[in-house]
Amino acid sequence: DVSGHGIGAALLMSTARALLRAFTAGEAPPAEVVTRLNRFLSDDVETGRFMTLFYGEVNLRDRTLSYVRAGHNEPVIYRRAKDVFEELAEGGIALAMMDDFEFEATGPVVLEKGDMLFLYTDGIVEAMSPAREPFGIVRIEDILRSGRDLPAKEIVERVRSAVRLHTGTARREDDLPLVVAKITG
């Protein structure tokens, strides 16, 4: 998620995307990938501009997640077997804030059958109603819990619809990117 809007934000996002694709082409671990990305972006980004990122690698064989959270909103895991939510709160600063910051990976986090990983940006939780009430994480958790048997794509649509209903005629300041990943099989 890039700070600001417009052409500058779009250029930063496309640069970061290209660099991330290049850095992940090898066998570098998550912390090294994000640390390198930060160094490159810090050299080229104008002062005051930054980007948040969640970079995760899932080992399908072991059903584990290792990740680096660079200033991004805390992803949530819905633990179906226990009917609880777990925030992935460990993390570092946003990208392009400090060029010499060394990011560290967290994990592996074990993912069980039935678990659901939810990634989102501040555009979701900070979406304001006409009465200036934020959408918040509790509404998201309610949607995840009630939709736990639905396909991930339908859960995504339910979250987006709920945000649109919540904001009503209020102008949304941000986009609504989100990812739902369900652990099956």
Nearest to 155 by CA among 141, 140, 144, 166: 144
**Each residue of 105-157: pLDDT tens digit?**
999 999 999 999 999 988 899 999 999 999 999 999 999 999 999 999 999 99
| Cα(136)–Cα(124) distance, integer angstroms | 8
pLDDT at position 27: 84
- Tell me which DSSP letter residue 26 carries: S
Count how many Cα atoms sit within 13 Å of the Cα of residue 118 in the half-sphere of its side chain: 27
Split the chain (185 residues) into runs of 10 and give each run's mean pLDDT: 77 86 89 93 78 92 95 95 95 90 95 96 91 95 96 96 90 79 89
pLDDT at position 173: 64
Query: pTM to 2 decimals?
Result: 0.88
Nearest to 111 by CA among 57, 54, 177, 159: 57
Nearest to 78 by CA among 157, 141, 156, 150: 141
